[in-house]
Amino acid sequence: MFLEQARPRRGADANGRNDDMDANEAVIRDFIEAWSRLDPEELAGFFAEDGVYHNMPTGPVKGREQVKAFIAGFVRGWTATEWDLLNIVARGDVVIAERLDRTKVGETPIDLPCCGVFEMEGGKIKVWRDYFDLSTYIKALQPPTAGAAA
């Protein structure tokens, strides 16, 4: 089976890593876990100097410093985030991670299904393409309309 449920492997630590794990997969598992700390400097450190972060509903951001600024811009309003890893596949320099990103913007909870495709180079993220429905995120931030069911 090509897809693997992202549950801990036999003999794995709490983050699902073990000695047999692909090094690129381990980096992405660490990267996903790091998002809970909401630290743009730490997150940008996972990228190659000329790395690219492309939220597919928007344009790509190129270069580690620009990635850091981009991340800082949108996490500024976040109060918490935890990313549930649903499936992960690693083959060569490509890692694909299906996730449910659970984020709080102020006090508003948002659950956003996502799928990230990571191209790795030298243990760093060279390109990250993140696929999700931007309207799901935007709608979750809208106040309820009058007469809407609670």
What pLDDT digit, counting tens, does each position of 70-129 carry?
999 999 999 999 999 999 999 999 999 999 999 999 999 999 999 999 999 999 999 999
CA distances in angstroms from 18 to 4, 13, 26, 130, listed in the order given = 15, 7, 9, 26
Looking at residue 94, what is its pLDDT? Answer: 97
Residue 6 belongs to a domain: no
Residue 105 belongs to a domain: yes
Cα diameter, the chain? 55
Residue 10 belongs to a domain: no
Report the CATH number at residue 137: 3.10.450.50
What domain range includes position 124? 21-141
Contact indicator for 113, 85 with CB cutoff of 8 Å: no
Looking at residue 11, what is its pLDDT? Answer: 52
Looking at residue 142, what is its pLDDT? Answer: 87
Give the integer Cα–Cα distance in Å for 127 and 86: 21
Q: What are the φ/ψ torsions at residue 42 (nearest 5 degrees)? A: -60, -45
* pLDDT tens by residue, 46-55: 999 999 999 9
Looking at residue 144, what is its pLDDT? Answer: 73
Number of domains forming the structure of the chain? 1
Looking at residue 140, what is its pLDDT? Answer: 87
Residue 148 belongs to a domain: no
The strand pair at 78-91 and 60-62 is best described as unpaired
Residue 35 belongs to a domain: yes
Mean pLDDT of 137-145: 83
Looking at residue 147, what is its pLDDT? Answer: 63
Determine what percent of the chain is predicted with pLDDT higher than 90. 75
Residue 113 belongs to a domain: yes
Average pLDDT, the chain: 88
